[in-house]
A and B are shown apart, each in its own frame.
With several copies, the nearest count.
Chain A
Amino acid sequence: MELYKNGLNVPEILTRWYESEKLLNYGAFIPFVGIVRDENNISGLSFDVYEPLLKNWFENWVSRAEKDGAKLKFAHSIGDVLVHESSYVSAVLSPKREVALRLIVEFVEDFKANAPIWKYDLIDSKRIYAESRSKKIIGSGLLA
């Protein structure tokens, strides 16, 4: 798991992951790159991350992928990421194409639903919580 302040260096990350894994006999390498879109008059997005739980969430996914003989990679931004920069890169490596395609879908969808990361729109230099796009984590309401 890799966390970086501000936008990600996508070519560096993808090249490093590919070069470090290509001799390990995985047949399929499927990255997912999230790029900040120019929309809603934002100048960018900003992110808070709760690292202890994120680490835990990711390690659970690593174990789950290992049972399928697959490996996962994950990088995310902290702080401001401007429009057309990237805030999120993950990847699945697997001996089997079918497993890799299934896992990248499941992993990215679960990331969206449960990774402890908070998103803000950057508008007029202000940080506005993206509440309507946010999702309650499983188990929410425990203290209500």
Chain B
Amino acid sequence: MVKIEFLGPINREAEYFNIKNLNDLAEILKNDSELIDWLEKSAVAINGKLVFDRNIELKSGDVVAILPPVCGG
């Protein structure tokens, strides 16, 4: 299972999905009306590294983070 973390203001518990890549994840999440606005403005990290390609292969134990707009400092 791949763990999906929704960070910061998305304010939602982590979920676990059996997915092969981020295309699978996008298919699942786009049906969630609470998330649809966040997805447009969020970046994605796999195991603590930003990714820019939906085809990267995911394996069980991976952690995917959904990162909404930031403002440190």
List the interface of chain A (C-beta within 8 A of B): 34, 47-48, 50, 52-53, 55-56, 76, 87-88, 97, 108, 111-120, 129-131, 133-144
Contacts and interface: CB of A to CB of B under 8 A. Distances in A.
A109 B44 CA distance: 21
Nearest to B69: A134
B45 A53 contact: yes
A100 to B, nearest CB: 12
Interface size band for B: 20 to 34
The B contact surface, by secondary structure, is mixed
Contacts of B22: 142-143
A135 B70 contact: yes
Contacts of B69: 131, 134-137, 140
A143 B39 contact: yes
Contacts of A133: 71
